[in-house]
Structure 1
Amino acid sequence: MRANEDTVLVGRACSLVPYRKEHVETYHQWMLSPELQELTASEPLSLEEEFAMQVSWRDDKDKLTFIILDHTGPPGAGEPPVPACCSAVCGHAGGAMCGDVNLFFNDHDDEKTAEIDVMVAVPSSRRKGIAREAVRMMMAYAAADLRTRRFVAKVKSGNEPSLALFRSLGYAEVRRLDWADEIHLALPAGDPADTPADGVLLESVRQTAAEMTRASYSGAG
């Protein structure tokens, strides 16, 4: 989706930037990890396929992706170097790529509901509140700019950190698919038509919307 192609959202622990071609090589390195392939139900791609996928994601009207930049420190030993554009966005060398956060508009009968997921791929960026802030900023952006009123997270039943994250944000379990080993959580749990226009924005998300700042992306494209 091109809606966010020039948008940067800046928070305290992280920033969100559009997924551009300059991010692909680092993203490709992440996705060679068997752990991440299992957690994201992904198949390994060649670098050429990864570049093609980036273009596909950018142009797909049903998918919106932000890359997460970690403000909290430099990459750990053995982790990919920081693309120059990412350091420039954050204004310091600590703006390392560390993951992504995504929306999927798969229900064409309900354009105000989106599936949401988040991945912090870099181990040194975990347990710092980055995933939580990234999800909150994505929700605030989607509610304001895309008029999204309900979010659904589909999480593997054994992924306790993700389940705990979404529950801490007010998501409630609405479905369990044993055959897929998935738990679906939603915010709000009921029909969004039964909630006020801004009902999905809990107080914490309203606060995030007020605290985060916006900028224009100046990467390579």
Structure 2
Amino acid sequence: MHLNEKTKILGRRIILVPYEARHVLKYHEWMSNEELRQLTASEELTLDEEYAMQRSWREDDDKLTFIILDAELYSRDQDEIAAMVGDTNLFLHQDPDSDHQVAEAEIMIAEPNARGKGFGREAMLLMLKYAQSESKLKLDKFEVKIDMDNTTSLHLFESFKFVETARVEVFHEVTLERSITPDWISWLDKQVELRIESY
């Protein structure tokens, strides 16, 4: 999506930057890991397919993505590739039961030594706040689809006040949703401060 192509979001411990072609090689290395693909319900792609996917993330109006950087690592030598630890995405679609716009959220901390440090929590809170505050997206609701065995992600989104709305055994998947209400926006504002710079 072109909306965020010049947007850098600064957190306390992480930085979100647009997914650029220069990030693809490391991203492709991550996605060669079968466990990561299973946890993220992703298919294995060739490097050429990965570059095509990156272009679609940039061009398509229904996709929004950021690469997650470890802010401390990045501060050392301003090397985005070395500081990459994961990504966060939104897929936008119309709710089939209403005229509401829904954003399906995803988060991945791919670097094993970056897990358990709160990076995923901060990155997802920043992504939710950015998307909720961006009037061009016209969102009414967030949702996530998580593998039943991925208890870390399930607990994460439950802590964001998402509630389970469906469980599909055949896909081994749980759907959780969060309507964007004034009360929830107030809660979100207390969790994270949105600081944006030009990228």
RMSD: 2.0
**Structure 1: 5+ residue stretches without partners:** 75-81, 88-94
For 2:185, the equivalent position in structure 1 comes to 201
Give CA-to-partner distance per residue, 1:143-201, whole Å, 9 cap, x none: 1113323110110101010001101111111111111111111113xxx6xx4xx3442
Q: Quote the Cα distance in structure 2 between the aligned partners of 1:83 and 1:177.
A: 43
**SS in structure 2 of the partner of residue 201 of structure 1:** helix
Q: Which residue, 179, 185, 194 being the options, matches 1:212?
A: 194
- Letter of the structure 2 residue corresponding to residue 48 of structure 1: D
**SS in structure 1 of the partner of residue 185 of structure 2:** coil
**SS in structure 1 of the partner of residue 149 of structure 2:** coil
Does the 8 Å CA contact 2:132/2:139 hold for their aligned counterparts? yes
Does the 8 Å CA contact 2:130/2:194 hold for their aligned counterparts? no
Offset at residue 111 of structure 1 (A): 4.5
Change (3 A) 1:123 1:202: farther
Does the 8 Å CA contact 1:151/1:186 hold for their aligned counterparts? yes
Q: Quote the Cα distance in structure 2 between the aligned partners of 1:110 and 1:12.
A: 36
Offset at residue 104 of structure 1 (A): 0.7
Q: Which moved more, 1:27-36 or 1:64-73?
A: 64-73
**Structure 2: 5+ residue stretches without partners:** none
- Letter of the structure 1 residue corresponding to residue 159 of structure 2: S
Matches for 1:1-221 after TM superposition, within 5 Å: 1-73=1-73, 84=79, 86=80, 96-107=83-94, 110-145=99-134, 146-188=137-179, 195=181, 198-203=182-187, 205-209=188-192, 211-217=193-199
Offset at residue 13 of structure 1 (A): 1.3
Q: Quote the Cα distance in structure 1 between the aligned partners of 2:138 and 2:162.
A: 19
**SS in structure 1 of the partner of residue 94 of structure 2:** coil
- Letter of the structure 1 residue corresponding to residue 189 of structure 2: R
TM-score (norm 2): 0.89
- Letter of the structure 1 residue corresponding to residue 131 of structure 2: A
Give CA-to-partner distance per residue, 1:32-64, whole Å, 9 cap, x none: 001111112222212121111110111111110
Does the 8 Å CA contact 1:114/1:150 hold for their aligned counterparts? yes
Q: Quote the Cα distance in structure 1 between the aligned partners of 2:129 and 2:66.
A: 13
Q: Which moved more, 1:37-46 or 1:7-16?
A: 37-46
Q: What number of residue pairs does the alignment pair up?
A: 193
Give CA-to-partner distance per residue, 1:112-146, whole Å, 9 cap, x none: 32111100000111111111111110111011113
Q: Quote the Cα distance in structure 1 between the aligned partners of 2:91 and 2:78.
A: 26
More strand by share: 2
Change (3 A) 1:111 1:61: farther
Offset at residue 207 of structure 1 (A): 2.8
Give CA-to-partner distance per residue, 1:185-220, whole Å, 9 cap, x none: 1113xxx6xx4xx344242x21345x2311111xxx
